[in-house]
Amino acid sequence: MADKGVVEIIVDLGKYKYVELEASEAERLLKEVTRRLGFESQDASETYRIIRNFDAFYDMAKKKFKDYIVPSKSMNDMILGKVIVDKVKLVKEGDKRIVGIHFDRRISEDTLAEILKNMGYQVSIKRLEIA
């Protein structure tokens, strides 16, 4: 598989993992995460809808001066610890559509790294710490 470049997994202080990819690649990543977990939560389904309707959600977010879109989450998923996506960031760079996904803290950075490597990326993990 051809090398697609380096993708950075950013782990914030709350242990949420952030990955930024082109829209179709972000959808592939999310699809593989849900497959490996063995379930698709309401927030993951909503994130697919956001990615597939990128332009409409991007325009809506800009009109509301929002950097992030928070997909709706099922109370049942939250209680059972089955939340996958915390929030989504949509960015346009020229004609490229970039999706940043903040994965829930329960999603392993090792799992994300392994999936990204299987997708053809080199992976860098950056942990944000208090200075």
Domain of residue 53 covers 6-127
Going residue by residue through the chain (131 aa), what tens digit of pLDDT does each one get? 557 899 999 999 999 999 999 999 999 999 999 999 999 999 999 999 999 999 999 999 999 999 999 999 999 999 999 999 999 999 999 999 999 999 999 999 999 999 999 999 999 999 998 87
Question: Per the structure block, which two tokens stand in for 49?
Answer: 């809808």
Q: Please give the pLDDT value at position 3.
A: 76
Does residue 1 form part of some domain? no
Instruction: Count how many domains the chain has.
Output: 1
Which segments of 23-129 are extended strands (E)? 68-69, 85-93, 96-103, 122-127
Q: What is the pLDDT of residue 125?
A: 95
Domain presence at residue 76: yes
Distance of CA 8 to the CA centre of its chain: 12
Do the domain assignments include residue 113?
yes
